[in-house]
Chains A and B, each alone.
Chain A
Amino acid sequence: MTLQRTPLFDFHVAHGGRMVDFAGWEMPVQYRSILDEHKAVRRAAGLFDVSHMGEVDVRGADASAFLQRIVTNDLSKMTPGRIVYSPMCYPGGGVVDDLLIYKRGDADYFLCINAGNIGKDLDWIAEQSVSLRKPCGSRYDVTIANRSAECALLAIQGPRALEIAQSLTPGFALGSIKYYHFAENVDVAGVRCIASRTGYTGEDGFEFYHDPSAAPKLVEALLAAGAPSGLELAGLGARDSLRLEAGFPLYGHEITADISPLTAGLDWTVKLKKEGGFVGCESLAAELAAREHGDTSLRKVIFFKTGDRRIVRAGAAVLDASGAKIGDVLSGTLSPVLNEAIGSALVPRRLADAALFTDIRGAKIALQPVKPPFVQPKK
Chain B
Amino acid sequence: MSNIPQDLKYAQSHEWLRLGADGIATIGITDYAQGSLGDITYVQLPKAGASLKAGESFGVVESVKAASDLYAPVAGTVVEVNAALDASPELVNQSPFAGGWMLKLKVADAADTASLLAADAYAKHTA
Minimum CB–CB distance from A266 to chain B (whole Å) comes to 26
- B44 located at the interface, meaning its Cβ lies under 8 Å from any Cβ of chain A in the complex: yes
Q: Known: A34-B64, A35-B64, A241-B64. Is A309-B42 also a contact (CB below 8 A)?
A: yes
Q: Known: A241-B64, A311-B64. Is A30-B89 also a contact (CB below 8 A)?
A: no
* Beta-carbon nearest neighbor of B36 in chain A: A18
- A237 located at the interface, meaning its Cβ lies under 8 Å from any Cβ of chain B in the complex: yes
Q: Tell me which of A30, A35, A361 has the highest count of chain B C-beta atoms within 10 A of its own C-beta.
A: A35
Minimum CB–CB distance from A99 to chain B (whole Å) comes to 28
Contacts of A30 in B (CB 8 A): 38
Contacts of A333 in B (CB 8 A): 64
- B41 located at the interface, meaning its Cβ lies under 8 Å from any Cβ of chain A in the complex: yes
Contact of A237 among B44, B65, B67 (CB under 8 A): B65
Q: Helix, strand, loop or mixed for chain A's interface?
A: mixed
Minimum CB–CB distance from A308 to chain B (whole Å) comes to 9
- A33 located at the interface, meaning its Cβ lies under 8 Å from any Cβ of chain B in the complex: yes
Contacts of A309 in B (CB 8 A): 41-42, 89
CA distance A361 to B62 in the complex (A): 12
Contacts of A34 in B (CB 8 A): 38-39, 64
CA distance A334 to B39 in the complex (A): 10
- B60 located at the interface, meaning its Cβ lies under 8 Å from any Cβ of chain A in the complex: yes
* Beta-carbon nearest neighbor of A20 in chain B: B65
B42–A311 CB distance below 8 A: yes
Q: Tell me which of B39, B67, B90 has the highest count of chain A C-beta atoms within 10 A of its own C-beta.
A: B39
- A310 located at the interface, meaning its Cβ lies under 8 Å from any Cβ of chain B in the complex: yes
B42–A35 CB distance below 8 A: no
How many positions in chain A have a CB within 8 Å of any CB in the partner chain? 16
**8 A Cβ contacts from B35-84 to A:** 38-39, 41-42, 44, 60, 62, 64-65, 67
Contacts of A241 in B (CB 8 A): 64
B41–A334 CB distance below 8 A: yes
* Beta-carbon nearest neighbor of A37 in chain B: B39
CA distance A183 to B105 in the complex (A): 64
CA distance A361 to B60 in the complex (A): 9
CA distance A18 to B89 in the complex (A): 21
A 1-41 to B, binary, CB cutoff 8 A, 1 in contact else 0 = 00000000000000000100000000001100111100000
Minimum CB–CB distance from A271 to chain B (whole Å) comes to 37
CA distance A361 to B93 in the complex (A): 23
Minimum CB–CB distance from A6 to chain B (whole Å) comes to 21
Contacts of B44 in A (CB 8 A): 310, 361
B 17-41 to A, binary, CB cutoff 8 A, 1 in contact else 0 = 0000000000000000000001101
A311–B38 CB distance below 8 A: no
* Beta-carbon nearest neighbor of B64 in chain A: A34
* Beta-carbon nearest neighbor of A33 in chain B: B39
A 129-162 to B, binary, CB cutoff 8 A, 1 in contact else 0 = 0000000000000000000000000000000000
Minimum CB–CB distance from A346 to chain B (whole Å) comes to 22
Contacts of A29 in B (CB 8 A): 65
Minimum CB–CB distance from A306 to chain B (whole Å) comes to 12
Contacts of A310 in B (CB 8 A): 42, 44, 62
**8 A Cβ contacts from A82-123 to B:** none
CA distance A34 to B37 in the complex (A): 11
Contacts of B62 in A (CB 8 A): 310-311
A334–B60 CB distance below 8 A: no
* Beta-carbon nearest neighbor of A237 in chain B: B64
Contacts of B67 in A (CB 8 A): 311, 313, 361
Q: Known: A309-B89, A311-B67, A361-B44. Is A35-B60 also a contact (CB below 8 A)?
A: no
| CB-defined A-B contacts under 8 Å, sample of 10 | A33-B39, A34-B64, A35-B64, A35-B90, A237-B64, A309-B42, A309-B89, A310-B42, A310-B62, A311-B67
16 extra interface residue pairs, beta carbon distance < 8 Å, beyond A29-B65, A30-B38, A33-B38? A18-B38, A34-B38, A35-B41, A35-B64, A237-B38, A237-B64, A237-B65, A241-B64, A309-B41, A309-B42, A310-B42, A310-B44, A311-B42, A311-B64, A313-B67, A333-B64
Q: Which residues of B contact A (CB under 8 A)?
A: 38-39, 41-42, 44, 60, 62, 64-65, 67, 89-90, 93
Closest 7 interchain pairs by CB?
A35-B39, A334-B41, A309-B42, A34-B64, A310-B42, A34-B39, A33-B39
